[in-house]
Amino acid sequence: QSALTQAASVSGSPGQSITISCTGTSSDVGAYNYVSWYQHHPGKAPKLMLYDVNKRPSGVSNRFSGSKSGNMASLTISGLQPEDEADYYCSAFTTSRTYVFGTGTKVTVL
């Protein structure tokens, strides 16, 4: 149950697009299309941004999109905005019916 691997930080200017990758194994990311992404401001409740790889909950901007290939998933934020600055975590449902989170990526809007 090792954490999924994410880059520690990603930055971009307003209006740009950034992509955060999430690498796991065939027992988690690669096993099912059960990858989700969360936006988190430390000390506050995490917010679900994407689920089932690329589905957006009601109220989440269509600037957020997701994809998966093999054991790697990605979150793309298009048209970066200052309010997007936060920590982002991927999560995958595993073949053991548990969950594993990614190491987290701090997104900075320059």
Query: Min. distance of Cβ 57 from other proteins in angstroms?
Result: 7
Among 13, 42, 59, 82, binds other proteins (CB under 8 A): 42
Residues 66-105 interacting with other proteins (rule: CB under 8 A): 87, 89, 91, 93, 96-104
CA-to-CA distance for 28 and 100, rounded, in angstroms?
8
Residues touching other proteins, count (CB under 8 A): 32
Least gap, CB of 97 to other proteins (angstroms): 5
Kindly state whether residue 60 participates in binding other proteins, applying the rule CB under 8 A.
Answer: no
Nearer to other proteins, 36 or 71 (CB): 36
Residue recorded with tokens 């409740």: 45
Q: Give the C-alpha separation, 92 to 34, whole Å.
A: 6
Judge contact between 105 and 87, C-beta under 8 A: yes
Q: Give yes or no for a contact between 72 and 21, defined as CB atoms under 8 angstroms apart.
A: yes
- Can you tell me which of 5, 7, 34, 67 binds other proteins, judged by CB under 8 A? 34
The answer to whether 44 contacts other proteins (rule: CB under 8 A) is yes
Q: Which of 64, 93 has the CB closer to other proteins?
A: 93
